[in-house]
């Protein structure tokens, strides 16, 4: 009997490569998201530091221009925080879509793997049947030769 060969092996390999590519893309997106969170945290820390400096300046006495300048800087950084949060939300949506794509590709690969398992079982059953027929023929031929 011929060696087992899955009829859709090329398609399965292609789907596995596609799945790997999509998983890598998802990993890159998640790293980008982590960097975005780090940048957001840095902005929060900067705002906290600048608020502390503003408070100290006001307690120690400073000019209105300096206070206005520091408040304006803090306000700009708060706007940066809002922009960064919007970028994070957008990236999370992109990641969700990519994750759905990865799940879909994984299902496709699993389906092909299951199909391969079924074909292998059918092959093994046919191989077993062929073995049994060979043994039956051998026994029949052996019995026939003994009788001659």
CB-based contact 29:96 (threshold 8 Å): no
Q: Mean pLDDT over residues 89-118, rounded?
A: 96
- Neighbouring C-beta atoms of residue 12, cutoff 10 Å: 18
CATH code of the domain made up of 9-110: 1.10.287
CB-based contact 57:70 (threshold 8 Å): yes
Among residues of the chain, what percentage have pLDDT more than 90?
72
Domain residue spans of the chain: 9-110
* pLDDT at residue 142 tops 80: no
Q: Tens of pLDDT along 47-58?
A: 999 999 999 998
Q: Tens of pLDDT along 75-91?
A: 999 999 999 999 999 99
Closest by CA position to 107, among listed 16, 7, 4, 2:
16
Q: What pLDDT score was predicted for residue 147?
A: 56
């Amino acid at each position: 009997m011929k060696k087992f060969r899955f009829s859709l092996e090329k398609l399965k390999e292609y789907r596995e490569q596609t799945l790997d590519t999509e998983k890598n893309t998802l990993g890159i997106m998640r790293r980008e998201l982590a960097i975005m969170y780090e940048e957001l945290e840095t902005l929060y820390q900067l705002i906290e530091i600048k608020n502390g400096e503003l408070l100290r300046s006001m307690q120690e006495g400073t000019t209105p221009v300096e206070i206005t300048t520091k408040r304006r800087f803090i306000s700009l950084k708060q706007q940066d925080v809002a922009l960064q949060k919007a970028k994070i939300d957008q990236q999370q949506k992109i990641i969700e879509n990519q994750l759905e794509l990865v799940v879909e590709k994984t299902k496709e690969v699993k389906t092909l793997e299951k199909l391969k398992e079924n074909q292998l079982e059918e092959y093994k059953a046919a191989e077993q049947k062929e073995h049994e027929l060979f043994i039956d023929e051998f026994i029949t031929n052996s019995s026939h030769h003994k009788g001659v």
